[in-house]
Structure 1
Amino acid sequence: MAMKIALVTTSVQLGGAAIASGRLAEALRARGEQVEVFSLDGKRRERTLPFIAERAKIFLANGLNRNNLFKVSTASDGQRGLVDRIKAYGPDIIVLGWINQGMLSLNQIQQLGEGGTPIVWMMHDMWNLTGICHHSLGCMHFVGECGRCPMLSKSVRGENDLSHKVWLRKRRLYQSVKIQFVSVSNWLAELSRRSKLLEQNPPVVIPNVFPMDDFFIGEKELGLIVFGAARLDDPIKGLHHGVNALNRLRDVAEAHVVFFGELRNPGALSGLKIPYDYAGSLEQAEVARLMSRAEVILSSSLYETLPTTLIEGQASGAMPVSFDRGGQRDIIEHHRTGYLAPFGDEEALARGIRWALESDISPENLRAEVDRKFSAGAVAKRMIELFETLKKGQLC
């Protein structure tokens, strides 16, 4: 008999975590499960008030400072009536995706948990194990109790600042409601085990679903390196590291790069000394065509939970090259299915690109590795096995 699954997520359209939630819903349906998605897609009016209310509270708590206003979340506000709608659906399992920015509050999650329905919470970033930030940027306060948060203005930082207050609310929630956390990467799971909030309830690791059918191996273009992101010059993407590494390939005659994604600073690529093109923002079908021609997919991100562009490239037969920091290790086996350079070592990253361009590892083998780890069938099978365990009243 099919399980009734309620999947709660701010969106299934906007952002990597949102798209991952949509793909998970499709994968579970393909396995015969009944999935109802509760999201804010197409509901601009419903989204606006809780979103503004949460941001206003953050703005006030941060001393009327707008810095980092959209880099933190508190889950103080959620959609009116959402808990009742979820309960009326009568789910066997509740799956929480990325629920911030006015979708679901911590209090509402408490209410959902009081009904006894098993809750699975997908972790797409660090927010579940910190006070308010989605990425700690090297701050390690989460191994104890958050406070003195570097995301907040210096004038309001303290032992009991906003980050500490939200940290305490999360601790109360986690202690009173049974939640099965699921990390999409081993890197994030390891951080969770080190955190004070989740050390007693560490997540299991199940990756995001990847749409194998959307990507394919095409005729490879000699020396083509692809570098892509939703926003190329987002500081997290470490574009300057990529440019510096690529400039060490000036003696590789055939090396050329195609960049894609939003670029707010047009001068960010001006220092590149090898041939390149900037393709702008691309639709997924355009990304697939570009990846199919590439020999190398490059990332120089400061950290990534589970970098989708590397998986897209590998599924298209391109060799992934990246810094070894974050979920990249779940994708790349060094010198077998890609190259992992020590974090921040631009010379090593350049060596990795050279190695990838010269490698005789077949595109078909690279694609097969993605299929084994991240295909819809493989991920859905693991999720359903987890759901069955939870229905028996057990946490993993």
Structure 2
Amino acid sequence: MKILHLNTFESSGGAAIAARRLHTALNQDGRVTSIMGVKERDSDAQNVYALPLYRSKIMNKVLGKTLAKFNDKLLAWHRPSKNIFFSAYIFPNSLATAIENLHPDIIHLHWIAGNFISPTVLQKISKLSIPTVWTLHDTWAFTGGCHYFGDCHKWQTQCNACPNLGHHFPLDIVKMQWGMKKKSYKKLQPTIIGLSHQFTHDIKKSSLLHEYPIATLPNTIDTKIFRPIKKSITKAILGLSPHKKYILFGACAAANDPRKGYDLLSQALQILSAQNHDSVSCLVFGASHANTPPAHQLPVTFLGELHDEITLALAYSAADVFVCPSREESFSNTTLESLACGTPVVGFAVGGIPDMIEHKVNGMLATPHDPQELAAGIAYVLEDQERREAMGRAARRTVEEKYAYPVVAKQYIELYQQLLNRK
């Protein structure tokens, strides 16, 4: 059985990381062959292919760049709101031919925006008559272009006149893309994967996807890389004080993306600093600085971008607690990584976080988006070493039982086999 994963990027962004981990887990299982098709490669990894979008190198270079620029200008004309992630891609390409040449038994879509796979291309893929699975890493598949819908609920009926866009006329690109998706999905007949129970619940309310098979399967993680390491060792390697307790926070664009909730964390730290937690410091990865001065008195060390998983594992293991203050999440890879390293997590009960955190067992859940509860959860973990260590052991056990490579690979292989048996 050959599985072809399609993701715009090879390793940039949470969806790419999740897709690559699943691809690796499937190959380690040995019962299937997994390959990845991406828009552009950025490593020499085996079984990863940069798929040509057009039939010749010249067309790839000229037509691909021309259409991408035109598409970007079209989006700019619609004036998306700042801090809103919105994308649209309406043009055809020859990707279906490249897919056919790889002879997969299953096509597994992941994050396909960024001028990679448009609804028009999905219609062409449907003509290959290959069973298609689609893991949704955000909401783009069932909106007119928003990757996170916030407080808007138009996606439950029909997206049009998007409140996140400044222009809609003479062309309402949101309504047009929504209609193109609806048409392509009817031909593709995908099996949809939600990464968490909360996200699956949202998908089932979607007017675009509710009629297709929907399952809930999580992301997976390499428990050999992300594992508990003695704090004395990790603190020494990272140059941290052996006597302090460390709160860790991190994400892509950690201090700049409002969805990641750094401002809410800062409010929680202000509450903690008022309670005289003198021996506590904060570590932040994914950012080199904050855009605004902190309101709290706790020392903060910005670790910048951590580009390899071993360094990430060191940071998680050095910390006494990881905080995930996200306003929205489909899953939360950072929560999973921290738990795998035996570090309890305090987070808001959004997306996949409640699936992973068992309250007062391996972490703490706080009401979205309450800094007071977040601060109380952090304090609960920090104030008792014996309790904290027990939570850390429970965190590791959770990952080994539910999210390790063999566990999740088995679930996906069973799903793939079911789809092939129906064919």
Distance 2:102 2:90 in 1: 24
Alignment of 1:1-396 (within 5 A): 3-32=1-30, 33-42=32-41, 46=60, 50=64, 53-54=67-68, 56-57=70-71, 59-60=73-74, 63=77, 65=79, 67=81, 71-77=85-91, 80-153=93-166, 155-156=167-168, 161-201=172-212, 203-220=214-231, 222-233=244-255, 234-250=257-273, 251-263=276-288, 266-283=290-307, 284-359=309-384, 360=387, 361-393=390-422
What secondary structure sits across from 1:231 in the alignment? coil
| Residues 156-191 of structure 1, C-alpha deviations (whole Å, 9 max, x = no match) | 279x72111111111111222221111122221111
| Residues 51-75 of structure 1, C-alpha deviations (whole Å, 9 max, x = no match) | 6625633533663636569822223
What secondary structure sits across from 2:133 in the alignment? strand
The AA in structure 2 aligned to 1:152 is L
| Residues 251-307 of structure 1, C-alpha deviations (whole Å, 9 max, x = no match) | 2232211111124x6443532311221111113222211111111001111111111
Change (3 A) 1:36 1:254: same
Distance 1:290 1:142 in 2: 39
Ranges of 4+ aligned residues in structure 1 off by more than 6 Å:
none
The AA in structure 1 aligned to 2:15 is A
Query: What do you get for the CA RMSD once the two structures are aligned?
Result: 2.4
**1:59/1:65 contact within 8 Å kept:** no
What secondary structure sits across from 2:224 in the alignment? helix
Distance 1:186 1:313 in 2: 20
- TM-score, normalising length: structure 2: 0.85
What secondary structure sits across from 1:24 in the alignment? helix
The AA in structure 2 aligned to 1:91 is P
**2:345/2:357 contact within 8 Å kept:** yes
Gaps of 5+ in 1: none
Deviates more, 1:382-391 or 1:42-51: 42-51
Change (3 A) 1:106 1:223: same
| Residues 98-126 of structure 1, C-alpha deviations (whole Å, 9 max, x = no match) | 11112222222212212221011111000
**2:247/2:322 contact within 8 Å kept:** yes
Change (3 A) 1:167 1:139: same
Distance 1:286 1:163 in 2: 41
**2:75/2:87 contact within 8 Å kept:** no
Q: Percent identity, aligned pairs only? A: 29
**2:362/2:391 contact within 8 Å kept:** no
State the Cα distance separating 1:363 from its structure 2 match: 2.0
The AA in structure 1 aligned to 2:335 is L
**1:183/1:204 contact within 8 Å kept:** yes
In the other structure, the counterpart of 2:238 is: none
- TM-score, normalising length: structure 1: 0.91
Q: How many residues of Structure 1 are paired with residues of Structure 2 in the alignment?
A: 388
Gaps of 5+ in 2: 42-49, 232-241
State the Cα distance separating 1:387 from its structure 2 match: 0.4
